[in-house]
Chain A
Amino acid sequence: MKPETLFDKIWDSHVVRSIEGGPDVLYIDQHFIHEVTSPQAFDGLRARGIDVFRPSMTLATADHNIPTVNQNMPIRDELSRRQVETLTRNCNEFGITCYGLNDPHNGIVHVIGPELGYTLPGMTIVCGDSHTSTHGAFGTVAFGIGTSEVEMVLATQCILQPKPKKMRIRVEGELGRGITAKDLILYIISQLSTSGATGYFVEYAGSAVESLSMEGRMTVCNMSIEMGARGGLIAPDDTTFEYLRKIPALSNRPDFYALVKKWSRLRSDPDAVFDRELTFDAGKIKPMITYGTNPGMGISIDESIPALEEISDETKASFIKSLNYMGFTPGMKLAGQPVDYVFLGSCTNGRIEDLRAFAGFVRGRKKAPGVTVLIVPGSKKVEKQAIDEGLADILKDAGFVLRQPGCSSCLAMNEDKIPPGKYAVSTSNRNFEGRQGPGARTLLASPLTAAAAAVTGRITDPGELMQD
């Protein structure tokens, strides 16, 4: 048999049929929906007079535009309220499970899928949200789709997709102390640029990737889209199975160990061919931060922003526009720059390990005066865990408040907006112009770098405060 990549194995086993010279009809095992990108899809079904084909294979949550305080009160913004109500109504009408606001299972779609055991190795998973690639951490083919495609999945459990090319990115060696999965992926994106993996599906491998926890792996896969990739995945291993075993809904299944056995075979064959292969040295990675308005514009925190001469001619106009927006100049150093806001949260870094890392860092320290800090758990479960483990108290003692779960400042559809011109060190995934509110200036970084900024009020290498 021809050697195959893990991606090929999963994709090919889900092809219902291939259209001559066209896309594949791909069967979807798990579909997630949320309030923002689904209403028009349900309208489409109604206009055609059809039902949802397999309602049990779609799961809904409200996350994108919900407030992160007083969630028990009616949503103040009328349009947001209407969107959340529309989702509930659509799910009731079409028989779809919906973890709405205040449900103990509610949370950001890419946080709850894995934590509730919906995300399983070998699956095809889609959602009308580009960070669906997060689920790839479990060895799934998971990617974001548009609303027309959401409608396709609701109507037929299939979508039409051209098969992407395959890339493998190995990161070998050991990450230094205080260097996180977020630094690793920001480093890779800075090397590849924001379009460097467009057209590809990426498999992450190598000892540094294998040594990551499931949460770290989710952070890495989450940001695949930021280099243009269709998605990213990591072969499941004991770390994966151990994580899944701790989910009661799964370990209670009589066939759990049979499934683990099946999942253990999900890996790329030794001589499988990739269209492109890259290798990076984990030892070279330092704490990363972005300085511009796309996630590819990242540097390590002790470096300077590139000088104008280092930028190619076609890119110069965008580079200058970007630095103007950020209020930075070419060649300047970022370390030591004042920070107005810090955001810990999102489907990239809103999991319990991220909250633990942040709380561990600020324990015994105090929030810097003048910095506003938004700490938003990724789900109700993460929120509860943070309270039960005492993290909320540690945060409180240091002058921080734990908010309620949601996407929050990641895309600022709710009230958690960064004001125009203000600088925010954010653990989310996008630093686009206006992403965190009109005129907001976002610097993407890890939870530790966010914590260092929260206690110093400046862009600070967390390593400098970790020497003990």
Chain B
Amino acid sequence: MPKEKFDILESTCIPLPIENIDTDQIIPARFLSLTSREGFGEYLFRDWRFDKSGNKIEDCVFNNPRYSGRILVTGKNFGSGSSREHAVWAIAGYGFRAVVSSFFADIFRNNCLNNGILPVVVKEDYLQNLLKTIRDNPSTMARIDLDKQLFTVLPDGEGISFEINPYKKECLLNGLDDIDYLLSIQDAIKAYELRKTLGK
């Protein structure tokens, strides 16, 4: 089913300079009981944003009015741990469209791509500089051009290129989804099953 297309994104960024953030932080397990895809945004990083009594934790970056935007910039090995896609639904529900890091956990990266969220991998030293730039100047704008595979800090940063699987890039650019593709090759799947039962 068609999803929102991803072409060019220009936005300010939210910096989260912590490594190895796991999906239990992104969305704690006790919020996994919903049976729809909607409504997870408010639970994003719930235990980092709010204390036990539900009060805002002031020094959490998400509660700092200086920072906003649709791009999350975060430390190495983001999204490790549980395969829960709820983590990506929470990120999308909160309003993000892209996550920038020097390294992503595998399942999380797949889950992002399946939900129209672009994971952008940059080198570690670039990431550290970027985090500093955003923290020094929270109104820093960044531009992600998916077609050209370029990430640029505006207005005059040098664009750096990032990798993405060509098939996944096509899917994001056109808002297509894997299930449409798989359904379209059902005959090939049936032929495979037949080959297998015949013992080839």
Contacts and interface: CB of A to CB of B under 8 A. Distances in A.
A318 B110 contact: no
A19 B167 contact: yes
- Give the one of A23, A147, A420 with max B CB within 10 A: A147
A315 B19 CA distance: 7
Contacts of A401: none
A47 B166 CA distance: 28
Nearest to A81: B33
Interface residues of B, number: 57
A37 B52 contact: no
B115 interface: yes
B174 interface: no
B182 A25 contact: yes
Given A27-B189, A438-B28, A146 B107 contact: yes
Contacts of B183: 48, 50, 155-156
A147 B179 CA distance: 12
A145 B84 CA distance: 8
A432 B85 contact: no
A279 to B, nearest CB: 24
Interface stretch (A168-176, A193-201, A243-251, A342-350): A193-201
B138 to A, nearest CB: 19
Contacts of A155: 179, 182-183
B133 interface: no
B185 A16 contact: yes
Interface string A113-146: 0000000000000001110000000000001111
Contacts of B88: 146
Given A146-B83, A149-B114, A314 B76 contact: yes
Contact of B181 (A148, A149, A160, A413): A160
A17 B88 CA distance: 28
A147 B85 contact: yes
20 contacts: A19-B167, A22-B168, A25-B189, A37-B85, A48-B179, A82-B35, A83-B35, A146-B111, A148-B114, A148-B179, A151-B179, A156-B182, A159-B182, A162-B165, A195-B105, A198-B106, A225-B81, A317-B17, A411-B24, A433-B24
A140 B74 CA distance: 34
B83 A157 contact: no
A146 B114 contact: yes
B182 A152 contact: yes
B160 interface: no
A156 B19 CA distance: 37
Interface residues of A, number: 73
B83 A40 contact: no
A198 B111 contact: no
Given A37-B85, A155-B183, A432 B25 contact: yes
A67 to B, nearest CB: 14
A394 interface: no
Interface string A29-61: 000000011011001100110100100000000
Contacts of B42: none
Contacts of B178: 148, 152, 159-160
Given A147-B85, A228-B106, A321-B18, A25 B80 contact: no
Contacts of A228: 77, 80, 105-106
Contacts of B181: 160
A294 B24 CA distance: 11
A131 to B, nearest CB: 9
A36 B36 CA distance: 11
B80 A194 contact: yes
Nearest to A227: B80
